[in-house]
Amino acid sequence: MIPAAFPLASRFPALGTTIFTVMSRLAAECGAVNLSQGFPDFQAEPALFDAVHRAMAAGRNQYAPMAGMPELRTAIAAKVATLYGIAYDVESEITVTAGATQALFTAIAACVGPGDEVIVFEPVYDSYGPAVTTVGGRVRHSRLGVPGYRPDWDHVASLINPRTRLIIVNSPHNPSGSLLSVGDLDALADLVRDTGIVILSDEVYEHIAFSAPHASLCAHPELAARSLVVSSFGKTYHITGWKVGYVVAPSTLTAEFRKVHQFNVFTVNTPAQLGIAEYMADPARHLGLAAFYREKRDRFRQLLAATRFELLPCDGTYFQLARYDAISDLPDRAFAEWLARRIGVAAIPLSAFYHDGHDDHVVRFCFAKEDATLVEAARRLQALNPGAPVESRP
Ligand code: PMP
Ligand code: GLN
């Protein structure tokens, strides 16, 4: 450790370390089965690695164009056109990003200035709020109604005022697994019609929708005309560590986005982009994802049925929410820490997704795991059952 020259006055005294980092670290520290941070514990297909390796070996290792490799932007345009019936221009309307996190931050920085307001839905993915406050904006929260985690559009309407610059939506929704319907998109369109409000749509789980087809803002022409839509290959191809994602948006919005992007990351890993572009040629690879994760969801729910957790509905994403009232009356952060240390399973306390620490005694489990991992987690969680034999404890 080197001594600091002077005490730095923090610009963000209220911000700690992201809950995903905290819980994954705790899981590693105490040998817990890590169902906290959202990432698969299985491998992507070798064909994807071969494609990246071939690009590297062929010398494709220098800077990609600022907007992304044309091969990848072309593949993205084709996928989005096929799925959502809209033709984004490869040159001026698609930008490859270093994951969705950078896309979201860059979009927020490009749209929001000091004093501007941004509406988000709680429980809310943890990166949106800090990004807004970093650029001087103010976050307004609209709570999703429990049960079901549905938006209350009348409440959203009450938050809209001349300072409202951006509304951030996320479907399929992390952490609740709820979906926006086409009716929700119509309600949103009614609210923003004749305003200058931009929509930022986080659709990183677009291919993991179970109970209804994913309602992308890309497929809603009125909203698409004022939206930046974000996705991530990390979720789709089981490569969260590669950090490659993208943004599609009308050219006027894309131009503003790129003004920030060029000085934020400038450009993204070239061989990874080329490998992903090649891999995207087979649509079965993204179209099969919902069935793949539906099976995991059903398996995990069936395993947890033998525990005292109350399982909430899961219509999309690879997260399962569970209420633990029948097990403990601890606050959710304390419960999650106890669960990791004493029972050996790490989960995310849902209060981390509320600005005021709202606590419904719910934790989030990630089921993007090998069957053996899910079975072992369930075995440990069964130690919480009344009368569970001591030898079943981890
Ligand atoms: N948005 C949501 C809703 C997410 O769950 C995640 C990460 N899991 C991200 C954005 C960030 O994605 P990436 O890892 O591509 O930055
Ligand atoms: N999005 C992942 C999750 O919800 C975590 C990403 C991160 O660690 N920032 O678990």
Ligand 2 centroid to Cα of residue 37, in Å, is: 5
389 confidence band (pLDDT: 50, 70, 90)? low
Residue 147 confidence (pLDDT) above 90 = no
Q: Verify whether ligand 2 is closer than 6 Å to residue 18 (CB atom).
A: yes
Q: Counting atoms of ligand 1 from 1, which one is nearest the CA of 39? A: 8
User: Nearest ligand, CA of residue 172?
Assistant: 1
Q: Verify whether ligand 2 is closer than 6 Å to residue 181 (CB atom).
A: no
pLDDT > 70: percent of the chain: 98
Cα angle 393-42-352, degrees, rounded to a multiple of 5:
65
Closest CA to 374 of 40, 45, 44: 40
pLDDT of res. 393: 54
User: Nearest ligand, CA of residue 38?
Assistant: 2
Q: What is the pLDDT of residues 92-128, one digit of tens each?
A: 999 999 999 999 999 999 999 999 999 999 999 999 9
Q: Verify whether ligand 2 is closer than 6 Å to residue 270 (CB atom).
A: no
Ligand 1 centroid to Cα of residue 310, in Å, is: 26
Q: pLDDT averaged over the chain? A: 96
Q: What is the pLDDT of residues 260-306, one digit of tens each?
A: 999 999 999 999 999 999 999 999 999 999 999 999 999 999 999 99
Q: What is the pLDDT of residues 25-68, one digit of tens each?
A: 999 999 999 999 999 999 999 999 999 999 999 999 999 999 99
Q: Verify whether ligand 1 is closer than 6 Å to residue 236 (CB atom).
A: no
Q: Verify whether ligand 1 is closer than 6 Å to residue 337 (CB atom).
A: no
Q: What is the mean pLDDT of residues 372-383?
A: 96
pLDDT of res. 386: 83
User: Nearest ligand, CA of residue 23?
Assistant: 2
Residues in the chain: 394
What per-residue string of b and e applies to 16-52 under the rule 16 or more CB within 10 Å gives b?
Answer: eeebbebbbebbeeeebbbbbbbbbeeebeeebeebb
Residue 352 confidence (pLDDT) above 80 = yes
Concatenating the DSSP letter of every residue in 263-310 gives HHT-S--HHHHHHHHHHTT-THHHHTHHHHHHHHHHHHHHHHTTSSPE
387 confidence band (pLDDT: 50, 70, 90)? confident
Q: Verify whether ligand 2 is closer than 6 Å to residue 24 (CB atom).
A: no
Q: Verify whether ligand 1 is closer than 6 Å to residue 125 (CB atom).
A: yes
With a CB cutoff of 8 Å and minimum separation 6, the contacts of 385 are 306, 307, 308
Q: Counting atoms of ligand 2 from 1, which one is nearest the CA of 20? A: 8
Q: What is the mean pLDDT of residues 150-177?
A: 98
Closest CA to 256 of 74, 96, 108: 108
pTM of this structure: 0.97
pLDDT of res. 146: 84
Q: What is the mean pLDDT of residues 149-164?
A: 98
390 confidence band (pLDDT: 50, 70, 90)? low
Residue 392 confidence (pLDDT) above 90 = no
Ligand 1 centroid to Cα of residue 263, in Å, is: 21
Residue nearest to atom 5 of ligand 1 (CA): 174
Ligand 1 centroid to Cα of residue 60, in Å, is: 27
Ligand 2 centroid to Cα of residue 232, in Å, is: 12
Q: Verify whether ligand 2 is closer than 6 Å to residue 102 (CB atom).
A: no
Q: What is the pLDDT of residues 323-340, one digit of tens each?
A: 999 999 999 999 999 999
Concatenating the DSSP letter of every residue in 12-75 gives -TT----HHHHHHHHHHHHT-EE-SS---SSPPPHHHHHHHHHHHHTT--SPPPTT--HHHHHH
User: Nearest ligand, CA of residue 173?
Assistant: 1
Q: Verify whether ligand 1 is closer than 6 Å to residue 232 (CB atom).
A: yes
Concatenating the DSSP letter of every residue in 60-129 gives --SPPPTT--HHHHHHHHHHHHHHHS----TTTSEEEESHHHHHHHHHHHHH--TT-EEEEEES--TTHH
pLDDT of res. 80: 98
Q: Verify whether ligand 1 is closer than 6 Å to residue 240 (CB atom).
A: yes
Q: Verify whether ligand 1 is closer than 6 Å to residue 234 (CB atom).
A: yes
